[in-house]
Structure 1
Amino acid sequence: MFRKINNWLHLWMGLVSGVIMFIVCLTACLFAFNEEIRDLIYPPVKVSHQAKPVIPPSRIKTIVAEHFPGEPVTMVTYKKGRAIEVIAKKWDDNPMLLFLSPYTGKVLEKRIMLNKTTKFFYFIEEGHRTLWLPWETGRLVVNYGTLIFVFLLISGLIWWYPKKWNKSTRDKSFKIKWTAKWKRVNIDLHNVLGFYSLILLLILSLTGMIYGLKWFSKGLYWSTSAGASLPAWKATLSDTTKMNAVRSLEQVLDQSLDITMRRFQDAEGYTYRTPDTANHSSSIEINAIASLGKTYADQSLYFDRHTGKEITKEAYYAASFKEAPFGTKLRRLNYDIHLGQVLGLPGKIIAFLVSLIGASLPVTGFIIWYNRKFGKKGKKKKV
């Protein structure tokens, strides 16, 4: 009786969520190597690393003003062995990328940021996160569709598990019989590939749900941190009573970046966004990139934009990865695990293949259902 209910739920919940998970998994495949593809089409501008001071934010602002008068500096990224990447102009105003020499400020190259490749991957990412629906609706559909997918993986394992183990059931459970008719091959693709990818698909699904289901995110953190509550994110604010400080925003930015670089001397890079000049309570955030291509060990420092005083952040957000407790480490690893980049290129390859299998399961499952539901009727009509 239990197996009948399990199989019935697996079938109908699979039909309900199949299209959702096909799109989510397929877009995950397409997005897996987005950085590598972008770097292949638009290679990063490399500059030999030298033991010299890099140009400060104030100098970068002057350079941008020379090339784009009146336009703001939106975001700046320093990376060892590469040119400084500067995003100039607002996000909604066709932003430009300037590549500057870290040591002289010479403009090495200019690019349009929103090129065809970047727009394509933005489109794919939007489909992965929202199915191209309005944000609130899309996030609910994707995340609860993923929750159903998790159930399908578990119920599929129960359906896959044979009542009796013998040579015949072992062959059907662990091998694809490529010499059989296409219907049998399709069943094997669904069952065998589903079994081998089960654990990894669960990991990718659960790490994705962290970002869309608050109750799941809080519950998982609570269960992995000895009952501690997940701290709510609070914006770091500058002291608006110090607005009339003599120092300019550029001077404070220069000092803040210098402090960050001195504190995290082994970092592979640093990045910051220029605070919104219209919002006097906005603060300066400078992120130290511990390892290129990974985010879990990154650390940020926050500074008052008027005084340059460092703003103390809650321990959950301020602690280094090494010093963080297990629950916090797991949460900080979540993004890199979800993309597979925690293992570098091999991890991305695994994530790509597993996502491809995930996209195939709704298709092969639908074909199995269709053949069983309508295949025999079709034969009778022909007779």
Structure 2
Amino acid sequence: MTTFKKVVGTLHLWLGLSTGLVVFIVSLTGAIFTFQDEIRDATQAWRKVEVPARPTEFLLPSRLQAIVGKSHPELKPAFFMYMGPERSAVLYSTDKQGEYFATALNPYTGQELGHLDLHRDFFSIVQDLHMYLLLPEEVGGKVVGISVLVFVVMLITGIILWWPKRKTDRKRSFTIKWGARWRRVNYDLHNVLGFYASSIALILALTGLMMSFEWVMKSVYFVSNAGQDYPVEKTPPTVDTLQAVAASSQPVADVYYQQIRRTSPTAKMIFLGLPASPKQPVYSIAYERALYYYHRDEYYFHPVSGQLLKSIPHASKSNGQKMADVNYDLHTGQVLGLGGKMLAFLGSLISASLPVTGFMVWWGRRKKPKKQRGREVAVPV
């Protein structure tokens, strides 16, 4: 083994031992979360509604908000999600402790269909574990981000170590020797599966880093735009608090919603923000497809008058901004539909297995007698 590969092997080993547990948790929870929409649809009947025989428009946000206010007066509305023609509308609210609740309603009739405490919701816990390890966001986010960054280095060093030196070794490097002893099978599982899943795992890791670190997002934006910058699409408008404005004659949420419907008539899903402060613009998004987050028109509204301050249609966005928009769909695999989700699931599952099989390789070598280890060719983890 060359000196270069020895150095790479040592780096691969100690980086893996130091971040293996975090990579295992993040990868396993990522695999579980991949099919969360499909599992929710199968177990939560209130997520879907029957479309009326005669087409009717959705109820306005103020109507839905009033219904939730009567049944849950202790909660403060935060934002709406109109999920699509065949899906319920959801009002997200917070209690005095800042915990989030989701109330699902029939968008055609206003009937309350379900009420969910997100603090105790299984997939919300899985998502929090995936992103923050159930730690405070500032701490957990950095731990996860750094561990995923190390995982990218692990993937690269792993491929360098795996790469067969001779042509005669290639067949052996691409297959798992199932009939061998368990240590050899474990070694093959670590190397062969790691190679096959490396491209998918790299995409999942890089898209995750775009969520964790702003400098990664800026780098992707810079490269995608060939070095050009488009500040108009990245800078939100400001609310002129010195200028007196007349309050809207109707609930501002209804004004936001109606303007979005007029400007993005083909949008199936709408994220509708609600005023949090008279000094901050209200941000909302119109998505072209339900449960897909790539094709989006973005809006900023005045919190008092309801006036449209700024809109960013999908068609006018730069390549860099479109890459940022498609990031979540890439990360979950749903950009390619069900097949993409299956690839993301398998890639995440194999990524979760790599710290386990790698640790077993290292531990097995520690337990061997010194003479036996001396007679063997050194195989880094």
The bucket for the TM-score relative to the shorter chain is: 0.7 to 0.9
For residues 261 and 98 of structure 1, what CA distance do their matches in structure 2 show? 22
Q: Which residue of 2 aligns with 1:60?
A: 64
User: Per-residue displacement from partner, 1:324-365 (whole Å, max 9, x unpaired)?
Assistant: 332222221111101111112221111111111011111111
Does structure 2 conserve the Cα–Cα contact (< 8 Å) formed by 1:238 and 1:306?
no
Tell me if 1:375 matches 2:373: no
The corresponding residue for 2:165 is: 163
Show structure 1 runs of 5+ residues with no match. none
Q: Provide the alpha-carbon RMSD of the alignment.
A: 2.6
Which of 84, 88, 93 is the aligned partner of 2:89? 84
Shift of 1:65: 3.6
Q: Distance in 1 between matches of 2:172 and 2:144?
A: 32
Deviation at 1:27, TM superposition (A): 1.5
Aligned to 1:6: 8
Q: Is the 1:239–1:304 contact (alpha carbons within 8 Å) kept by the matching residues of 2?
A: no
Letter in 1 for 2:85: K
Q: Which amino acid aligns with 1:114?
A: L
**Does the 8 Å CA contact 1:57/1:253 hold for their aligned counterparts?**
yes
Tell me if structure 1 keeps the 8 A contact 2:102–2:118: no
Corresponding residue for 2:224?
224
Letter in 2 for 1:192: V
Tell me: CA distance 1:259–1:91, structure 2 relative to 1, closer, same or farther (3 Å): farther
By how many angstroms is 1:170 displaced? 2.5
Deviation at 1:173, TM superposition (A): 0.6
Q: 1:275 to 1:191 in 2, by over 3 A?
A: same
Does structure 2 retain, via aligned residues, the 8 Å contact 1:286–1:300? Answer: yes
**Corresponding residue of 1:283:** 281
CA displacement 1:231-263 (0-9 Å, x = unmatched):
596554434345662435x43322221111011
Match of 1:343 among 336, 344, 348: 336
Aligned-partner SS, 1:37: helix
User: In structure 2, what is the equivalent of residue 211 of structure 1?
Assistant: 211
1:48 CA displacement: 0.6
Kept in 2, the 8 Å contact 1:207–1:338? The answer is yes
Q: Could you list the per-position Cα deviations for residues 138-170 of structure 1 after superposition, in whole angstroms to 9, with x for gaps in the alignment?
A: 22222121121111111111111122111xx23
Work out the number of aligned pairs and report it: 367
1:312 to 310, 313, 316: 310
Letter in 1 for 2:322: K
Counterparts of 1:21-36 in structure 2 under 5 Å?
21-36=23-38
Q: Which residue of 2 aligns with 1:238?
A: 239
Unaligned runs of 5+ in 2: 374-381
1:46 and 2:49 aligned: yes
Q: Residue 211 of structure 1 aligns to a residue in which SS? A: helix
Which whole-Å CA distance do the structure 2 matches of 1:187 and 1:89 have between them?
Answer: 49
Letter of the 1:325 counterpart = S
Q: 2:295 aligns with which of 290, 297, 320?
A: 297
State yes or no: 1:75 paired with 2:79: yes
Task: Name the residue aligned to 1:183.
Answer: 183
In structure 2, distance between residues paired with 1:139 and 1:251: 37
**What TM-score results when the alignment is normalised by the length of structure 1?**
0.86
The one of 318, 327, 348 equivalent to 2:320 is 327
The 3 A distance-change label for structure 1 pair 235 and 201 is same
Read off the aligned partner of 1:290 and give its amino acid letter.
E
Residue aligned with 2:80, SS? strand
Shift in Å, 1:34: 1.9
